Chains A and B, each alone.
Chain A
Amino acid sequence: MPKARLIDVSKCMACRGCQVACKQWNGLPAEHTTQRGTYENPPELSGSTWIKVEFTERPGEWLFRAHTCMHCTDASCEKVCPTGAISHQGEVVIIDQEWCIGCGYCVQACPFHVPHKDEEEGTARKCRFCIDRITNGLEPACAKTCPPGAIQFGERADLLSIGKRTVQQLGANGHPKANLYGEYEMGGLHTLYVITDSPSVFGLPEAPQLATSTAWAQWLSGIITAGVVAAIPFWLLFRRKKQIESEQKSEVEGDVR
Chain B
Amino acid sequence: MIAWSAPIWIYLWMAGMAGGAYFAAFLAERFTGVVDRKLLKLATYVGIPLAVVGVLLLVVDLGSPLRFWHLFTQFKVISPMSMGTWILLAWVGIAIIMVILWWVGNRLTKQTASSLRSTTGFLAWINLVLAVLLIAYTGVLLAVSNQPLWAGTVLLPSLFVASAVSTGVAVLIITALIANTISRGSLVELKMAINQLFGSTDWAIPNRTVARLAEADVIVILVEIVALIGYAIWLGASSAAGTGEALGLLTKGVLAAPFWVGVVLLALLIPLGLEITNWGKDIETKGVWRAIIASSACVILGGLVLRAVIAIGGQI
CB atoms of A238 and B216 under 8 A apart: yes
Q: Which secondary structure characterizes the binding site on chain B? A: helix
Asked if A76 is at the interface (CB within 8 A of a chain B CB), the reply is yes
**A79 CA / B144 CA spacing, docked (Å):** 10
| Interchain Cβ contacts within 8 Å, total number | 218
| A124 CB contacts on chain B under 8 angstroms | 63
Given the known inter-chain contacts A226-B136, A232-B219, A238-B212, please indicate yes or no for A82 contacting B76, CB distance below 8 A: yes
Which B residue's beta carbon lies closest to that of A215?
A: B144
Which listed segment binds A: B32-40, B94-102, B287-295?
B32-40
Most buried by B among A80, A99, A209: A80
Asked if B300 is at the interface (CB within 8 A of a chain A CB), the reply is no
Which residues of chain B in 51-95 are interfacial with respect to chain A, using CB atoms and an 8 Å cutoff? 62-65, 67-68, 70-71, 73-74, 76, 78-82, 85
Which listed segment binds A: B118-126, B147-155, B249-257?
B147-155
Asked if A131 is at the interface (CB within 8 A of a chain B CB), the reply is no
B side interface size, CB within 8 A:
69
Which A residue's beta carbon lies closest to that of B314?
A: A108
**A219 CA / B160 CA spacing, docked (Å):** 12
| A215 CB contacts on chain B under 8 angstroms | 78, 80, 140, 144
Which listed segment binds B: A115-123, A149-157, A159-167?
A115-123
| A229 CB contacts on chain B under 8 angstroms | 158, 162, 223
| B29 CB contacts on chain A under 8 angstroms | 238
Which A residue's beta carbon lies closest to that of B241?
A: A205
Which A residue's beta carbon lies closest to that of B213?
A: A237
Which A residue's beta carbon lies closest to that of B155?
A: A221
Cβ of A60 to closest chain B Cβ, rounded Å: 26
Cβ of A23 to closest chain B Cβ, rounded Å: 19
Which residues of chain A in 220-253 are interfacial with respect to chain B, using CB atoms and an 8 Å cutoff? 220-227, 229-243, 245
**A158 CA / B31 CA spacing, docked (Å):** 67
**A83 CA / B218 CA spacing, docked (Å):** 40
**Besides A82-B76, A218-B144, A223-B136, 17 new A-B residue pairs in contact (Cβ under 8 A), listed by A number:** A82-B74, A82-B81, A101-B68, A101-B70, A103-B62, A103-B63, A104-B63, A122-B64, A124-B63, A200-B241, A215-B78, A218-B156, A222-B136, A226-B135, A235-B31, A241-B208, A242-B34
**Which residues does B use to contact A, with CB under 8 Å?**
1, 3-4, 23-24, 27-29, 31-36, 62-65, 67-68, 70-71, 73-74, 76, 78-82, 85, 132-133, 135-137, 139-140, 142-147, 150-151, 154-158, 160-162, 165, 208, 212, 215-220, 223, 227, 240-241, 314-315
